[in-house]
Structure 1
Amino acid sequence: MIRKEEVYRIGRIGKPHGVHGELQMQYSDDVFDRADAAYLVLDMEGILVPFFMDEYRFRSDEIVLMKFCDVDTAEQARQLTGSIVYFPCRLAEAAGGDSLSWAQIVGFTLQDARSGQVIGEIQSVDDTTANILFEVRTPSGTDLLVPASSELITDMDTTCRTIKAHIPEGLLEL
């Protein structure tokens, strides 16, 4: 059984493309193209299920046309529409070398490097602007935007899934 902590989110299945089971997949990380992986993991009503890739081709910087094994009709493809797509962490680590993609750090715990205080869990990374931000959910349930500048990050532990960063003074009081 595949557990949620063994994978990270890389995309979402869109609508079928054609009549032979091909799907559009919007992706945030093209690790499936860089890694030696035969499958992607789809969330099927809360159960993580591996789907073996038959072939794929890039349509744009955000869309790939994906064909899974044994998904041969538009109706079968339509049943997968809206599914969240995940990638195995262990395969990404083998393919990625020393650097992690922004998508891989979702779920990491953010800590203040000075005090050791847990700020919260990284829910997503907003890289749509020049200043990249971590979207963090605090233990009390509130959401914070924290700068994800490399100058502020002091340590990253992929085994413990933690990032230590210098949190700008006054940010937590906002």
Structure 2
Amino acid sequence: MIKQEEVYRIGKIGKPHGVKGEVTLFFDDDVFDRVDADYLVLAIDGILVPFYMEEWRFKTGETALVKFCDIDTKEQASALTGSGVFFPKHLSDRGEDELTWDEIKGFRIVDTNRQDAVVGEVVAVDESTMNVLFEVETPSGSIVLVPANEDIVKEVNTKERLIKVDLPEGLVDLNDNE
């Protein structure tokens, strides 16, 4: 059984392409092209399942068309639509301390300006704008936005799943009162 900590998210499956089982893969990381991997891992009903690739080709810089083994019809391909796509960490070419934005979820944020006071836990990462933001759930249950830039983030401890930040005074209070 594949465990969540053994993989990292690289994208999701879109609509079928054609009638012979090919699907569109929307990806954030083209690691499947850079390293020798025979399979991708899909989240099917909450279970991580390996799917071996018969063939694939790039469509654009962010999409590829993939034909998985034993997926031979449009109906079979349709069943995969919306599935998260993951890549095995042990096959990856990334460094040991490199993390994806998805892997940051669950990290605790502490503010060095407030004697390492806990700001909260990262529940999501907003990459929709030029400035990436951590969406952090505070102990009171509200969501605050913390910029994920090198001026603010001072240390990332992957073992303790902890991010130390140097927040401008009042940022947490401003967000927490909304």
TM class by shorter chain equals 0.7 to 0.9
Q: Which residue of 1 aligns with 2:23?
A: 23
Post-superposition offset of 1:45: 1.0
Distance change (3 Å), C-alpha of 1:68 and 1:102? same
| Distance of 1:63 and 1:142 partners within structure 2 | 35
Matched residue type, 2:149: S
Q: Which residue of 2 aligns with 1:6?
A: 6
Equivalenced residue count is: 172
* Aligned ranges 1:110-121 → 2 under 5 Å: 110-114=109-113, 115-121=115-121
* Aligned ranges 1:119-130 → 2 under 5 Å: 119-130=119-130
SS in structure 2 of the partner of residue 131 of structure 1: coil
| Distance of 2:111 and 2:98 partners within structure 1 | 21
What are the Cα deviations for residues 42-83 of structure 1, in whole angstroms up to 9, with x where unaligned? Answer: 111111111122222221232221121221221211111111
What are the Cα deviations for residues 79-125 of structure 1, in whole angstroms up to 9, with x where unaligned? Answer: 11111222233433xx1136444344344333323433333333333
What TM-score, normalized to structure 1? Answer: 0.83
- For structure 2, list consecutive stretches of 5 or more residues without a partner in the other structure: none
Residue 72 in 1 paired to residue 69 in 2? no
* Aligned ranges 1:13-52 → 2 under 5 Å: 13-52=13-52
SS in structure 1 of the partner of residue 61 of structure 2: coil
- For structure 1, list consecutive stretches of 5 or more residues without a partner in the other structure: none
Q: Which residue of 2 aligns with 1:96?
A: 94
SS in structure 2 of the partner of residue 149 of structure 1: coil
Post-superposition offset of 1:16: 0.5
What TM-score, normalized to structure 2? Answer: 0.81
| Distance of 1:90 and 1:109 partners within structure 2 | 25
Q: Percent identity?
A: 55
Distance change (3 Å), C-alpha of 1:18 and 1:122? same
Q: Which residue of 2 aligns with 1:109?
A: 108
Bigger drift between 22-31 and 98-107 goes to 98-107
Distance change (3 Å), C-alpha of 1:36 and 1:124? farther
RMSD between aligned residues: 2.3
| Distance of 1:124 and 1:4 partners within structure 2 | 17
Q: Which residue of 2 aligns with 1:56?
A: 56
Distance change (3 Å), C-alpha of 1:61 and 1:161? farther
| Distance of 1:121 and 1:90 partners within structure 2 | 27
SS in structure 2 of the partner of residue 96 of structure 1: coil
Highest CA radius of gyration, 1 or 2? 2
Bigger drift between 112-121 and 19-28 goes to 112-121
Contact 2:137 2:144 in 1 (8 A): yes
Distance change (3 Å), C-alpha of 1:36 and 1:112? farther
